[in-house]
Structure 1
Amino acid sequence: MPQTKTNVWIIVKEYALIALGILLYVTGWNLFLIPNNLVGGGVSGVAAIVQYATKGFIKIGTTYFFVNAVLLIVALFILGKSFGGKTVFAVILASIGLNALQGLIPHEICQTLAVDNGKLMSTIMGGILVGVGIGMTMSQGGSTGGTDIIALIVNKYRNVSPGRMIMWMDVVIILSSMLVPSYSADGELLPWTEKVTTVVYGFILVVVNSTVIDMYLSGSRQSVQLFILSSKFAEIADAITHNLHRGVTVLDGKGWYTKQSTEVLMVLTRKSDLSLLLRLVKSIDSNAFLSVSSVTGVYGKGFEEIKEKIKVKKELPKES
Structure 2
Amino acid sequence: MRSFEGVVTTGIYCVPPCPGRPRAENVVTFTSAAGAEAAGFRACHRCRPYRGDRKPASASELVCRAIDLIAAGALDAGNAAELAARLAVSERHLRRMFHEQVGATPDQLARSRRAHFARRLLDDTDLSVTDIAFAAGFGSLRQFNRVMVAIFRAAPVELRKRRRRADRLVADGGLALRVPVAEGTDIGRRLAQLARTAIGGVESATPTCYRRTIVVDGDPGVIEISSATADAVRLVVHLPRIEGLIHLVARVQRLLAGQPWDPFEDDIRGIVSDHGVLDDLVRAYGVPIGGLRKFGLAYLFPTPTTLATANSSGLDKVGAQAIRASSGTV
TM-score by length of 1: 0.25
Larger Rg: 1
Structure with bigger helix share is 1
Q: Which has the higher contact order (CA 8 A, sep 6+)?
A: 1
Structure with bigger strand share is 2
